[in-house]
Structure formats: C-alpha cells, structure tokens
C-alpha cells in the first residue's frame, strides 16, 4: 500500500490562541515549507476571520469548539475531489465511535445531526497552472457552545455536541480521535475507492427520491436526489426527468 502522508500524520500540531483563520496559517506554512509541510496541523481557540464555504463567515465562540486545518499534498493520481468527503466521513465515524450517535453528511460535506448542522469542512488549494501543489483542509465542529451563543439567524439551523449529549465534551480527545480517522479515510478514497463510495453514499442525509433545493452556478432549483457520483458529485433528476451531475454548489434544503 502506498503512503498517503509522506512524513506521517500529523507531523506537527501548531496551537494558537487567536488567529485570523487556521486555513490562512496553513496556507502560509505551505508556501514557506513546500512538500515538507505535508501533514502539518494548525488548531486555534478563536478565529477573527473564520470562513465557511460560499464565502460565509464561520462563527465560533472562543475556547468552546474545534477549529483546525491541515495540509495534504496529494500525489498526481489522488482523487482530490473526494478529500472533503473523506474528512466528512472521519468526523461521522469519530462521532459514532465516541458517542454512539448517528450523524450524516448533507451534500457536499456539512455534518448534520437531527437535521441541524454540527460541523463543516472547507478545502482550499494552492495550484500552479492546473497542477495542485497542496490542499488546505479546514474543519470546524460545534462542540461545547450552546445554540443560544450563535447569531440569531443561525440558531434554528445549528446544533452542538454539548446540546446533543447534554454534557461538556472533551475537545482534545475528540480532536485526537478525529486525527486518527483522517489518514484512514484519505487513504481509503484512493486505495479502496468502491468501498469508500459505498460508505459515503450510506452516510448522506439524502435518500433516493428526496426533493432537494440545490444551489449551483448562481441558480437555485428543485430536483430529486439520486446518488453521489465517483468524484463526489451530486446526481439528481430535474423536473423534466433529466439526470444531472452537479459539481459545485450545495443542497440548500432537503424536504
Ligand atoms: C462550511 O461549512 O461552510 C465550512 C466551515 C469550515 C470552518 C473551518 S474552522 C477551521 C478552518 N478555518 C476557517 O476559516 N474555516 C475552517
């Protein structure tokens, strides 16, 4: 079997009290160290400019949740579009193994429990031309905040592990467990892609035939969920019965 992280994972864990965004720190480190940066992890108590997908802000009260990023330098044949899904599965399996709670992924890779968002993943890349030099994977999990501590407009959309478990959760233990799952799923996406896709499809919150509202390329439309494709794309049937493969965007609602 091929080695995924050439120097192991994590190679180094850099801890911070307050940062702009852990993704920014990881990107700077990748620029500075090149290939040597593979496997480095950056974790912070607070982000002044935490960001989510679609240029949204990522809210997290200081010292309560999990905010980290890591660097992955893929080989040329690595299926990079599966990376966010591999991280999503790592989160789902961590939650299952620590708390025996069922969590699912809303496409592309929001982590949901009981229909509410508990975590998100933001993967950014550094490329030269069309060649990817490295990936920065940022992970945010709502751990010990209370829903009331989120901005009002998010309060009916989010959940935290503390709310679900009705007790404080050991953030460090959660982090260390998740770090062990990540290389396993990143490797599985390459070495056992079919098994990976089977697990991924079962881990989606969407069921075949569900009515979805999908946002892609500046438009929002309704369609029926079919499956997840080999590259992580969303496969849906539109109102005229045509099968579409959606690469960028997100499921806005799953009715
Ligand atoms: C999303 O669901 O929109 C993705 C959220 C990703 C948030 C994490 S927190 C750590 C890392 N640093 C950031 O600025 N964003 C990611």
Identify the helix (H) or strand (E) that includes residue 71: strand 66-72
pLDDT tens per residue across span 163-209: 999 999 999 999 999 999 999 999 999 999 999 999 999 999 999 99
Helix, strand, coil shares of the chain, percent, nearest 5, are 30, 35, 35
Cα distance between residue 141 and residue 171, in whole Å: 10
Interval between CA 54 and ligand 1 midpoint (Å): 11
Residue-wise pLDDT for 116-125, tens only, equals 999 999 999 9
150 CB contacts (<8 Å, ≥6 apart)? Answer: 59, 158
pLDDT band at residue 246, thresholds of 50, 70 and 90? Answer: very high
pLDDT of residue 1: 52
Q: For a substitution probing ligand 1, which of 26, 43, 50, 123 has the most ligand atoms within 8 Å of its CB?
A: 50
Give the per-residue pLDDT at 159. Answer: 97
Expressed in angstroms and rounded, the spacing between residue 246 Cα and the centre of ligand 1 is: 22
Q: Which pLDDT score, from 0 to 100, does residue 129 have?
A: 86
Q: Which of 88, 109, 120 to mutate to test the pocket of ligand 1 (most atoms within 8 A of CB)?
A: 120
How confident is the model at residue 190, as a pLDDT?
95
Distance from the alpha carbon of residue 80 to the mean position of ligand 1, in angstroms: 18
- Would you call 52 exposed, middle or buried from its count of C-beta atoms within 10 A (0-12, 13-18, 19+)? middle
Q: What is the pLDDT of residue 254?
A: 80
- Ligand 1 atom showing the smallest separation from residue 49 Cα: 14
Residue 2 pLDDT > 70: no
**CA 117 to ligand 1 center in whole angstroms:** 13
**Euclidean distance between CA atoms 204 and 151, whole angstroms:** 27
Share of the chain above pLDDT 70, in %: 99
Q: Which residues line ligand 1 (CB under 6 A)?
A: 21-23, 47, 50-53, 56, 58, 67-69, 110, 120-122, 138-140
pLDDT tens, 14-72?
999 999 999 999 999 999 999 999 999 999 999 999 999 988 999 999 999 999 999 99
Task: State yes or no: pLDDT of 255 exceeds 90.
Answer: no
As a whole number, the mean pLDDT across the chain is: 96
Atom of ligand 1 nearest to the CA of 53: 3
Helices 171-191 and 83-99: crossing angle in degrees, nearest 10, is 130
Distance 29 CA to ligand 1 centre (A): 18
Residues 6 or more apart whose CB falls under 8 angstroms from that of 170 comprise none
Length of the chain: 255
The pLDDT-based confidence of 223 (bands split at 50, 70, 90) is very high
DSSP-derived 3-state class of residue 209? coil
Ligand 1 nearest-atom number relative to CA 58: 7
The CA 142 to ligand 1 mean position distance, Å, reads 11
Buried b (16+ CB within 10 A) or exposed e, 132-169: bbbbbbbbbbbbbbebebbeeeeeeebbbbbbbeeeeb
pTM: 0.97
Q: Whose CA is nearest to atom 15 of ligand 1?
A: 51
Residue 101 clears pLDDT 90, i.e. is over it: yes
Name the residue with the closest Cα to ligand 1, atom 2: 120
């Amino acid at each position: 079997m091929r080695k995924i992280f050439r120097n192991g994972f994590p190679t180094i864990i850099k801890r911070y009290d307050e940062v702009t965004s852990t993704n920014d720190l990881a990107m700077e480190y990748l620029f500075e160290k090149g290939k040597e940066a593979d496997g480095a992890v950056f974790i912070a108590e607070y982000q002044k400019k935490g960001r989510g997908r679609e240029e949204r802000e990522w809210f997290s009260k200081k010292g309560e949740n999990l905010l980290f990023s890591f660097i992955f330098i893929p080989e040329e044949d690595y299926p990079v579009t599966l990376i966010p899904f591999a991280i999503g599965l790592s989160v789902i399996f961590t939650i299952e193994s620590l708390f025996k709670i069922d969590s699912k992924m809303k496409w592309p890779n929001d982590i949901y429990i009981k229909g509410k968002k508990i975590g998100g993943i933001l993967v950014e890349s550094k490329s030269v031309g069309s060649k990817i030099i490295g990936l920065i994977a940022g992970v945010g999990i709502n751990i010990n905040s209370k829903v009331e501590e989120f901005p009002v407009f998010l309060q009916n959309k989010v959940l935290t592990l503390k709310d679900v478990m009705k007790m404080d959760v050991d953030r460090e233990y959660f982090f260390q467990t998740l770090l062990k799952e990540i290389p396993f799923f990143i490797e599985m996406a390459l070495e056992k892609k079919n098994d990976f896709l089977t697990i991924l499809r079962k881990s989606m919150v969407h069921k075949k035939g569900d009515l979805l509202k999908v946002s892609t390329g500046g438009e929002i439309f309704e369609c029926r969920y079919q499956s997840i494709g080999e590259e992580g794309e969303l496969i849906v049937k539109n109102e005229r019965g045509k099968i579409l493969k959606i690469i960028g965007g997100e499921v806005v609602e799953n009715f």
